Structure 1
């Protein structure tokens, strides 16, 4: 008699608590025409090893629920310990019983497989890869398609689960995949598609009771409003992110929501509110800890807050402060976040141009192409460089620097 690690591991992988397992077994017993007699205490005796071989009908129900034979679940038939049998016989008979039990189960049990936490973890690793690709290259159609395929794969596994906990994780993962697709569309300036994906992501996050992914989605919707020059929409989405329950639990997420709201206020010309939100973002970030968070949050920290602050100061017509924050951002954004570094570089060029530093600004802007290398620039980044291009022509239309820059833009095919 002893602990039953096989059963414990099977329950943990499928995300089943003792009450849930008892309820599912009783449901199968009723389907077999037997009374549901399994209790939480019964499950406890199996886990502790006090009960080594459940009754026949219960073994069948248990096999249907967990899709494993009794032996695979750590149970030992009474005859396995019989001293009268030759040493080889228990092994042979146990193997025979395992094969017979598997054959006796319904096809869905013997051939199917219940989805558990291990499957969800594998899907999370695939999402991590897509997030890293987005950080490096930026959004594009292939990334969007891969993210949507991941969401579909996660949703396709929901019906193969028997645990509410695993189901919630799958819905959460599908929401995260879909939000990744939406964010890719923002980079690609396909804002209608982005909004559609975010609407789906919010619904899935609701099914998962996932406040963190809901916050991510509202944050991205605020970006969509900003890209559309719809200040009210950007501000409403940013406030929804601020009011999300996740911000009360995690100062880092609260900081991100405050920073996004600051940008929305700055585009509306509300200087006081924008600076107040920036102050709140800094205060919250100072309280952030190193807890484990979803992969998509890894971009955010002091350097990214500085990059967002540069956007705020640019909208408030404070080019000097925007330049200072851009330098701070570029000093801290890690190399693997290449797209974000390129974006901060473009903002720095705009800030320098705003102070009349034409040659320095142009040199900085060329650095965007150097950073992105041979990869195509995401359309959102090309739009920033388009803003720089138009500002340079307005400020110094006949300058040699402007002519050289224009030739470079035409050669790159990025003229807006």
Structure 2
């Protein structure tokens, strides 16, 4: 890797808030506005992974000028306006300033990764895989670095799952491994650059899971997790950076735990969630602790331990209450409802569902946890469908699952497959085999993009229920396609999903 030696930069000037862009967002939450940006991108053939934190960075003035993909999307959303009208600096005024310099110790020599040198770009603007909120289009001619070539080849030869695998570097875009962390420490202390890389690794894992499912990602994610804890061992020079590292490592442990969870590796997931919980308690991070308990409750439900699911969800609510996020409390109430359903306690489940709906109705807040961007009306409907399914109320479960699939943003391919698989199973068990087969075929159409043992296990269960109804309309076609998919060469052994999944 090429490197260059630079002198420490002058302290950055404080960013000026982008009030024009904030005005354009209006009454929408950052997450809701980010969804509009993604939708506008699809309308013009762009692919951006805008989220609430990106909108926050724009409004805070951290991104003085967006990259080319975002520029095209914003100008499409607000026709007739220029970047200046949207509150950004002209591209010509920020050209040549380079990316923000990493945190350094005065007088220290700094090694800059090769892919951060080269083409000049606007302050706060990045390109290629280093853009924390932009998913590369393999055919985008604006990105001509080495990783774009790898992505392009993977896209052309291996489909979506291959793109996911090569997109997830050892630790986000900076390519750190545990050994590399030790080598970097000899050059300079751990600082903001490493904390940012860790946070980016978490975002990338979540994004790739949304689109492709967990199976192809889990083992790739082990390396960034090892590197994250190596960073903690190395230590940071500033308390604020140390707190970011601990939070980032805990969130990464949860993300990797979810990949294990969704691919049927329940014991691995339990270990990762416990690691995140320990990290949260060591540092007094209530938000991280609530997240760890939230996922622990979900895992306990899926693993057939409903009483543990209730206890973990209630613990999460106690920790999360001071955080002031109704949406978070709503999700945690749904986790509790899932546990009560597993205990066949219909009254307890209904009470938790009513509480979840009321809290959801209070709306989103600017300070809702970043990891909760997935939790919208579609997820609310999907989780309620799972509760009714566990209680054996197939008709009500099917109605909620159908609504979840209809409401889901197309960005979340994996969730569309999950909700539709839930719908197929509910219809099959509710005595509507022809409709179940139609829904099952829709899921099979998505399996070239999604690798999730949870979804595959649900389809396996649906196929078993539909087998006696082979003569019903469409059922034979579904069973034949399902059998063909199950016997495809190279497919990993499927882990049966629990009925409540």
TM-score normalized with structure 1 length: 0.69
Aligned equivalents of 1:211 and 1:146: distance in 2? Answer: 28
1:384 aligned partner:
458
1:232 aligns with 2:270: no
Q: Which residue number corresponds to residue 297 of structure 2? A: 222
Task: Tell me: CA distance 1:165–1:275, structure 2 relative to 1, closer, same or farther (3 Å).
Answer: same
**Within-5 A mapping of 1:131-146:** 131-140=206-215, 143-146=217-220
> Could you tell me how far 1:251 is from its partner in structure 2?
1.0
Counterpart of 1:38 in structure 2 is none
> Equivalent of 2:251, from 148, 156, 176?
176
**Aligned counterparts of 2:451 and 2:231: Cα–Cα separation in 1:** 36
Shift of 1:376: 5.7
* Cα separation, 1, equivalents of 2:282 and 2:223: 19
**Partner in structure 2 of residue 210 of structure 1:** 285
Equivalent residue number for residue 269 of structure 1: 344
Q: What is the CA-CA distance between 1:189 and the residue it aligns to?
A: 0.4
Structure 1 counterpart of 2:105, from 53, 67, 72? 67
CA RMSD of aligned residues (A): 3.1
Mapped contact 2:190–2:235 kept (Cα < 8 A)? yes
Aligned residue runs from structure 1 range 151-162, under 5 A: 151-158=225-232, 159-162=234-237
Corresponding residue of 2:395? 320
Q: Give the equivalent residue in structure 1 for 2:51.
A: none
| Structure 1: runs of 5 or more not aligned | 1-5, 13-64, 71-107
Partner of 1:197: 272
Task: State the Cα deviation string for residues 157-212 of structure 1 (Å, max 9, x = none).
Answer: 33341222211210111111111111001111011111111111111222332222
Greater helix proportion: 1
Tell me if structure 2 keeps the 8 A contact 1:171–1:207: no
Mapping 1:277-316, distance limit 5 Å: 277-316=352-391
Counterparts of 1:377 and 1:320 in 2: how far apart (Å)?
28
Give yes or no for the alignment of 1:405 onto 2:443. no
Residues 358-412 of structure 1 deviation map (CA, whole Å, 9 limit, x = unaligned) = 111111111111123x246311111111221222235x36657544333222111
Question: What TM-score do you get using the length of structure 2 for normalisation?
Answer: 0.58
Aligned counterparts of 2:367 and 2:220: Cα–Cα separation in 1 = 25
Could you say which residue in structure 2 is the equivalent of 1:335? 410
Structure 1 residue 137: Cα displacement: 1.0
Residues 147 and 178 of structure 1 are in contact (CA less than 8 Å); yes or no, is this contact kept in structure 2?
no
State the alpha-carbon separation in 1 of the partners of residues 411 and 315 from structure 2. 30
The structure whose Rg is larger is: 1
Q: Distance in 2 between the 1:246 and 1:379 partners? A: 33
Match of 1:122 among 197, 217, 229: 197
CA contact (8 A) 2:198 2:249 kept: no
- Deviation, 1:260, is 0.9
Q: Is the 8 A contact 1:128 1:295 kept in 2?
A: no
1:120–1:170 Cα contact (<8 Å) kept: yes
What is the CA distance between 1:280 and its match in structure 2? 0.7
2:218 alignment partner, SS class? helix
Q: Which runs of 5+ in 2 are unaligned?
A: 1-8, 16-102, 109-182, 488-493, 497-501
CA separation of 1:248 and 1:212: change in aligned 2, threshold 3 A? closer
Distance 1:172 1:10, change over 3 A: farther
Q: Is the 8 A contact 1:168 1:209 kept in 2?
A: no
| Alpha-carbon separation, structure 2, partners of 1:257 and 1:294 | 13
